[in-house]
Structure 1
Amino acid sequence: MTFESSLAFIVAMIVFAASPGPGNFAVIAQAISKGSRSAFALLTGITFGDLTYLLGAFYGLGYIASELEFVFIVIKYLGAAYLLWMAYQAFTSSTEAADLEQVKAKTGRTLITGFTISISNPKVIVFYLAFLPTFLDLKAATSADILLVMVLTVLVIYGVIGFYIVSAAKLRTKLNQPRARRWFNRITGGMLTAAGIAIATRS
């Protein structure tokens, strides 16, 4: 992989990571509602999903994915349903002032949620299985190329979305009054609803 193609891939990844989508909405909502620690756990799950498609692009799993389209459709709707369930919880959660310590969440469940969001997101599928070949000849890629792309992907995802997490988590201290929390719950629920609908309706 040449320096020029690496630079182009980084720019494309930054745009891809920064653009609005189900993953971004879910991570921001998680950061505001449960703190940065839980949001980074969700982001880690999303990153694993991205790397799954990335490796799939290198090892020709695009053909397998097309043959197993029904499985991906089921995963897509399960992911959308779970996001809508999270939205319902946000809409119905308490508006009383809360302890702003990091909310403990089951890390395993959070990781799986992030992975499901990524693996069921058509935007991710298109980027890695269709767009990646424009930067690199996948058939001629070496192990070093694959490792480099994986490292660049992780760095960009954590750099861009990590900034969103830190920024969103700082808002928690300003949202700890009943009226503010009521609006916060509505906004969080709306973001998660938008994320769920986006996954369910995109093809």
Structure 2
Amino acid sequence: MLGTAQILSYITALGLAAAIPGPGMTALVARSVSGGAITGFIMLFGLILGDLIYLSIAVFGLAVIAHTYASLFTLINWAASLYLCWLAWQFWTYQPQAVEIGQKVTKQELASAWLSGLTITLGNPKTIAFYLAILPLIITLDNVSLQIWGMMLVPLTIFVLLSIGAIFILAALRIRHFLTSAEAQRILFRSAGMIMLLAAVGMVVKTL
């Protein structure tokens, strides 16, 4: 079992990593502003799933495989960076529109939000660095069993990310009332686009 010190260290480190603005939380705010709470939380579920995937990779030692098959890992990085570039273009070219509170969203929009959340996390250098480089410094992964992973680390990860993400979503919903001007929306979405582009460039640079 994990000790209290390790648990608190993990919660603190993960909370800080999630709270620092990056591609994931920036996109979450932008989606919540344009689509509302439901869209925001659906995207958050995608973000969390991406984190759980990297957590599993770190815990079960698949990181070793990633380093062994460097070419495959590079290909995945390039694919993720291209997707981030596409998202950056979508945010940059977003056409400001009136913010309608309580507007219904389609299943297609929800599916798109979930997939965006998942792929953004999988292509987020900050997430990769946390689980494959920082996590082993916090927790002795060799001692993590399947039971500890399923009954402690997974619930803790979901709890922390859901809590931090909910704060960002609620803040975005408060902002919606002030984003009635086209210029304010344009600044928000273009800022999100720039962060996406910088993340994509960072991923490409790491593979060179």
Instruction: Tell me, yes or no, whether TM beats 0.5.
Output: yes
Distance 1:41 1:71, change over 3 A: farther
Aligned length: 200
Aligned to 1:8: 9
Matching residue of 1:44: 45
Match of 2:137 among 123, 129, 134: 134
Residue 175 of structure 1 aligns to a residue whose secondary structure is: coil
Any stretches of 5+ residues in structure 2 without a counterpart?
none
C-alpha separation between the residues in 2 aligned to 1:82 and 1:50?
18
Deviation at 1:136, TM superposition (A): 2.1
**What is the alpha-carbon distance in structure 2 between the residues aligned to residue 68 and residue 102 of structure 1?**
45
Q: Distance in 2 between matches of 1:54 and 1:143?
A: 12
Identity %: 29
Alpha-carbon distance in structure 2 between the residues aligned to 1:39 and 1:73: 30
Alpha-carbon shift at residue 90 of structure 1 (Å):
4.0
Inter-partner Cα distance in structure 2 for 1:110 and 1:71: 27
**Cα displacement string for residues 33-78 of structure 1 (whole angstroms, at most 9, x for unaligned residues):** 2112112111111111110110111111101112344444444444
* Residues 103 and 47 (structure 1), Cα distance of their counterparts in 2 relative to 1, 3 Å cut: same
Report the TM-score when normalising by structure 2. 0.85
Q: Which amino acid aligns with 2:140?
A: D
**Which residue in 2 is equivalent to 1:53?**
54
2:161 alignment partner, one of 152, 157, 160: 157
Q: Does the CA contact (< 8 Å) of 1:44 and 1:114 recur in 2?
A: yes
Question: What SS class does the counterpart of residue 139 from structure 2 fall into?
Answer: coil
Q: Judging changes above 3 Å, is the alpha-carbon distance between structure 1 residues 16 and 94 closer, same or farther for their aligned structure 2 residues?
A: closer
CA contact under 8 A between 1:75 and 1:116: conserved in structure 2? no
Preserved contact between residue 47 and residue 115 of structure 1 (Cα < 8 Å): yes
Q: Counterpart of 1:172 in structure 2: which amino acid?
A: R
The change in CA–CA distance for 1:30 and 1:137 in structure 2 (over 3 A counts) is same
Q: CA separation of 1:6/1:74 partners in 2, compared to 1, >3 Å: closer, same or farther?
A: same
Matched, 1:118 2:108: no
Call closer, same or farther: CA 1:132–1:90 in 2, change over 3 Å: closer
Compare 45-54 and 166-175 and name the one that shifted more: 166-175
CA distance in 1, matches of 2:50, 2:129: 13
Query: RMSD over aligned Cα, in angstroms?
Result: 2.1
Contact in 1 for aligned 2:33/2:176 (Cα 8 Å): yes
Please report the TM-score for the alignment, with normalisation by the length of structure 1.
Answer: 0.87
The answer to whether the 8 A contact 1:95-1:181 is kept is yes
Deviation at 1:93, TM superposition (A): 4.1
What is the CA distance between 1:134 and its match in structure 2? 2.0
Q: Report deviation, 1:94.
A: 4.0
Distance 1:132 1:155, change over 3 A: same
Query: Would the aligned equivalents of 1:81 and 1:196 in 2 still touch at CA under 8 Å?
Result: no
Distance 2:154 2:125 in 1: 20
Note if 1:144 corresponds to 2:147.
yes
